[in-house]
Amino acid sequence: MMIMSTYKKRLDGRAFDEPRQIEAKAGVIKKADGSGYFKIGNTSAYAAVYGPRELNPRHMQNPKKGVLRCNYNMLPFSGSDRIRPGPSRRSKEISMVTEKALWPVVNLDDYPNAVVDVFIELTETDAGSRCAGICAASIALADAGITMKDMVVAVSAGVLDHQVLVDLNGDEEHMHQYDVADIPVAMVPSTEEITLLQMDGKVSKEELFAAIEYVKPALKRMAEIQRKALKDKYKTE
């Protein structure tokens, strides 16, 4: 049974099912094999793909399929608090979940003994950074010509004082007078396969399932923005 919420109007005026303003581009890093840019609200992510190329050392090679490696990094002044340069436990964890979120759509069987490296840099952060990184990485992989079954698109679902929302912003995440849950979701739009599901906060089982269903239409609209970014790049070449 869903509990009525007292959160009746979002701080920035968006509808409950509306993500922040989105901008997406492909081919933004000229020396990469493929690249993508994805901005949602005040969170901006760049992704660069290098490969497929020979994986070294050779004992790590797989003669049956390639390896996908992701590296996620927030620049020191990307947020309101300065971030210490270099790998952190959080960046390593997000790198791992990003790799797992993208892995189901990338056909690594085409690249035996090879590696596809994805480097993601967050230049500006205000909530939803791992989701923006996944969206940018998906564009970059497609731009690099990597064989993919579909895009992967990601955004957070949220539950704020029992109200289900799409794409919490930073202010909503920190409304500590309410119970707040942030639920990053990544999805393959053609099949609705969920490739990432995490949660920070506390919700009921009913609220969690409602949030996952509620965010799917927004994810499909966002996937069209990703595809348009790729089409626009090749229109201008």
Query: Quick one: CATH architecture of 22-235?
Result: 2-Layer Sandwich (3.30)
- Average pLDDT value for the chain: 91
pLDDT digits (tens, 9 = 90+) for 203-217: 899 999 999 999 999
Q: 69-78, 163-172, 174-183 — which one is most confidently predicted on average? A: 163-172
- Which pLDDT does position 145 carry in this prediction? 96
pTM for the predicted model, two decimal places = 0.92
Query: Which of 3-17, 33-47, 187-201 is predicted with the least confidence, judged by mean pLDDT?
Result: 3-17
Q: Would you kindly state where each structural domain of the chain is located, as residue ranges?
A: 22-235
pLDDT higher than 90, residue 82 = no
Give the 3-state secondary structure of the chain: CCCCCCCCCCCCCCCCCCCCCEEEEECCCCCCCEEEEEEECCEEEEEEEEEEEECCCHHHCCCCCCEEEEEEEECCCCCCCCCCCCCCHHHHHHHHHHHHHHHHHECHHHCCCEEEEEEEEEEECCCCHHHHHHHHHHHHHHHCCCCECCCCEEEEEEEECCEEEECCCHHHHCCCCCCEEEEEEEEECCCCEEEEECCECCCCHHHHHHHHHHHHHHHHHHHHHHHHHHHHHHHCC
